[in-house]
Structure 1
Amino acid sequence: MWRWVTRGLVLTFVAALSAPALFAQTFTFTGDVDRPDPAKTQSGIIEVRGWALDPGQISRIELWVDDQFKQNAVMFLPRIDVEQAFPDWPGIHTARPGFITGFHTTDGPHTIEMRIYTQDGQVHFLGRRVINVNNSINQPPFGFVDIPDGNGVYNVSGAFPVNGWAADLDGVQKVEVLMDDGVLQGAVYGDARPDVAATYPDFPAAAFSGWVANVDTTRIENGPHTLTVRVTDRNGVPALIGRRTVQVINNDNFLKPFGFIDEPQRDAVLYGTLCGEGDQGGPIVSPPIRPTAHITPVRGWALDLGTRENTGRVAYAELLVDGVRWLSTNNCGVVEGEFANCYGLPRFDVAKYYPSFPDAPRSGYLFTLDVGALLNLGVRPGNHTLSVRVGDREGTFSEIPNADGIPVFFQCAESTLHFPAQGFIEFPANFDYVGGTVVFRGWALTEGPADVVIGVELFVDGTFVGTAQYGFPRTDVEDQFPFITGSLNSGWMFQMDTRILPNSRHQLTAVAVDNRGTRTIIGSSYFYTENNN
């Protein structure tokens, strides 16, 4: 009995030792280059994409063209197909083995190859192939739909964003969102996409290739629908860049107000002045702002959309400090000739992004926050949160940007505090095509009562080209900054003959100069010149 038990124990022990050796897997480097296809003639921006897995850590992936280093690829992209093909690879669900890059080259045959470097010093050569390039072939637009993603059915309600990027060597004319093959609405094109610029370094316009459309799903029947995005280039050549399945679910419970806080931004320091006036804990008497105190504008926009006509519109907005209501648009009034603590202010930029929302052109709100008055009431200096609670006519409400609000910092300061200028370049917009004599324009202002903009200097490609005329009326800027002195006459213009510039891409930079001599960059914009010199 003893020998049988011992032998059984020994056999069991040996089997336990032998099983891992019999079934152990050895993982070595593997990968593939999916594109470009060497059997197809390439043109325009040539996309190179693939994947790579290594038991160690991959440190970088390089693209080599004709045995010369070209550029680094963007790494760590998801590849669900690779995860499914290698389910037993250690850490496959977090590996993100995909890579992508793109380049432009001359006509004729070219050899491409990817070189994968690991942290242990090894170099793996992947996907070497010869491709033929013919740039006389018009490349159709290309791009991607980021939201909704392609993982299954995407549930939507109310207003939901559809966004991504699109590019074309000849320029993008328009981006359209289609639902069930019918055009639903156009997208706004030209948003910054530094990630796309990193992927296609040979293509400068990729830096501002983003697009977004905010779709009003109440115009669509509840149920499943097919969403596609179509891009058309300046030659009229269209291309579909994405197809998604969405499930529309609309009822009153889903249709809460939504919006954004434009300023202040997260982690901003909000200064208060006249912090020692009044009794600590005593009420601040009307009017709601003190004319000589520093005022922090809290502004943004809010929209609401019900499922029935004439319902669901915004009824009120409230400014919350640490979750406590401080100001409300129910007390909207005029202070020093300007609206204060009101909803319904002009926001034509919001109307551009939400063209199907009837209230979008006047969806702005503005609160006048006197931080010094808050400190007088006993609110401590330091860290606080701001949020805006928006309610609709049906009794539903939500907090913008979310229930956590945005973090800010309250601080008392002297009334002589100096603020840098702020402003914007309106024309040219990023990657506009211009020719002949054009008028660059924008606006600039300073926040401090003792500060005044005295000029706006313009630079093209880093070279000073002149000082703009300043002081043109801008009622739209005054609507956005009603309590900033000089906001009404903050416009600037500069006339320039672009024929002195070569036909290529250029960068315009605007610098505001104030009466203290402080110079502040208020904007930078890329544009292309098209002249028959």
Structure 2
Amino acid sequence: MRKAAKIVVINILTIIFTLSIVWTSGKVSNAVEEDMVKVGIESPLNIKSDLQQLYISGWAVAKGQLKNIEVILDGKSLGNANYGFYRRDIGEAFTSYSNSYNSGFVLAVPDDTSEGKHKIQLKISIIDRNNQSKDFVIEKQFIKATKNLESKLAVEDIKDEDSLSGELNISGWSLISTGTSRVQVLLDGSLLGDAQYGYSRKDVANSYSQYFEADNCGYNFKIAENSVSNGKHKITIKALGNNNEIISKDIVFYYNLSMKSVAAMELSNDSIVSKTFTISGWALNAKNIEKVKVYFDWKYVGDATYGYQRLDIGKAYRDYPNSSNSGFSYQLDISQYADGDHSVMVQPIGKDGSILNDNALIRNVMVANKTVFYGIDERLSNLKGKTSAGISGWVTSPEKINDINIFVDWKYIGKANYKYTRKDVPKKYLDLQGENIGFGYSLDLLKLTKGTHTFMIQFITESGNTKSEYFNFEVNRFLIVVDPGHNNAGDDGAYSTIDGETYCERELNMQVAVKLKSALENKGYIVLLTRQPLEILLDDLSESLAKRVNLANSLNADLFISIHHDKNGDASVSGVSTHYSSYRPDLDNDGIIRGQDPGGWSYTDLKIDSTPSYVAVKSRELANKLVSALSSDLNRNNLKAHDHGLNVTRNTKMPSVLVECGFISNKGQAQDCSDDSIQEKTAKTISETIASCF
């Protein structure tokens, strides 16, 4: 008849496994020794109970006859355990052991153990197959705690309102009096999985030694990069105890935010202020705000206090961290400043290091003793076709004007010239400093990109009083770089001598380029040449091509046109062709294949962009229109447009086309190409075609 093992529970007996086997008699090898006895200690159990008995139970199998299992608690023998309970699970797991199906053991004794650590030893006596007696000692430690310990859960690595990106590492530690069975990680309420639990945490054990699992209570969970959508999220860490207790902690965080910094200053422009006044508003950043710097007349005066409650902003900008506490305020003492207009600026700085410079965060205020008066004649309007623009006006004050500083896009670029005669200014201003109060400054538009810019002028008096004004202006110029191909040395062009007349491609290229420049300028374009008439350049081929490309790129040109003339060993060949490049390695490297020229010409190892960029598409469009218009207007063979991948069309960062105007190896065409009127017609056709596209 099989013995039946009872399922029992005890007081909170929480266990630390420290299992070892000690051989006490006989001489055998380690390999045989480890295989001689296998033991599993399954209780004391890690659950709470009101029973007053201590149960030691488990299973043991041996290769040989197992005589008895003596139980020793803290060095005191409790007697022999009852052995031979039916254990089907052990029998199926250890089929090579003869007693495995009846390998269960149990011993119940009154529980008079104190709180704290205890050690159980099982002394297992066997007779091996050689009829030798051997003893083995198995040890197990446990901690007894009869009081309910408060469960604790810590989340490290991330904090509330953090802004995170990349792979997320969720780590911390969990302490539950009956032991932590698992730690779950949830994102926005959905289970992601179980964290790895059991990492060594000696620091926690030093503080919470009364918890049995404190030594190894750490957990860790990783969330793969970009597996979390952008925006606001809630991560929940849920620890489950062996007694079914659940403790959890929520952390709100923001992932991979790409929103721009936003802010507002709640001070009306042109406010009249005195003594002290308050500069307030709110500021938000995807990584949270580090500080809000305050400037008065472009000088740093201090940091605003940040973190005031703004529930209205929290409601309007829910996806930004800390939006409900995004208010700032600063008290500014202006008692030592001169009367007149002044500028106030706040500059929010994010924890990611970004600085928000915004016109909306700048205010002019009127301080009501010393005042600066000024007038600006022109405000940078009607700039199309201009390479520079003049700024002029007048400025005066009861104090001497020391400096007139010029800023573009909030960057200092120079000082205006001062002391021009201005008799036209009203007398009340001339009485302050006389007639020589005019100023002027020439702004180089070629250094500015196309689009909207901010211009600011700053007047500074002898005492340091400042007066500033700024306004936006549009740079709507269209800059075309015209490249007369080749030079006088390493990048020289073709030559052809027909009937004693020598045709030089380099010179013909320049003649057409000069005429094209004039034609384009008449249409309002800004045009620059890569080399000038009569200029002798001796660069080698590589340097020559690089300089042409770098000039266009450094100027942020809108279009690049390279003028060339062709030559062929067959004198009968004539016509015009154009060349562009769909392959733009500095702009787009997607969709690059080895391909064929759509124009039908054969090139070795030609790279074609199967998904061309906007610049490449515009280049192809212009190349097709140019070859069609030139062949028609000049009555020349249409040799088509070709995706050629030439250096100057490949490496420029704007639409670019190389034009082969004709063949100087063909007598008739060479004569046409050198004819002044035909060159004018060529330039006219090219300029009109460009105007139709841009």
**The TM-score by the shorter chain falls in which range?**
under 0.3
Normalising by structure 2, what TM-score?
0.16
Structure having the higher Rg: 2
Pick the structure with more strand per residue.
1
Pick the structure with more helix per residue.
2
Greater RCO between the two (CA within 8 Å, min separation 6)?
A: 1
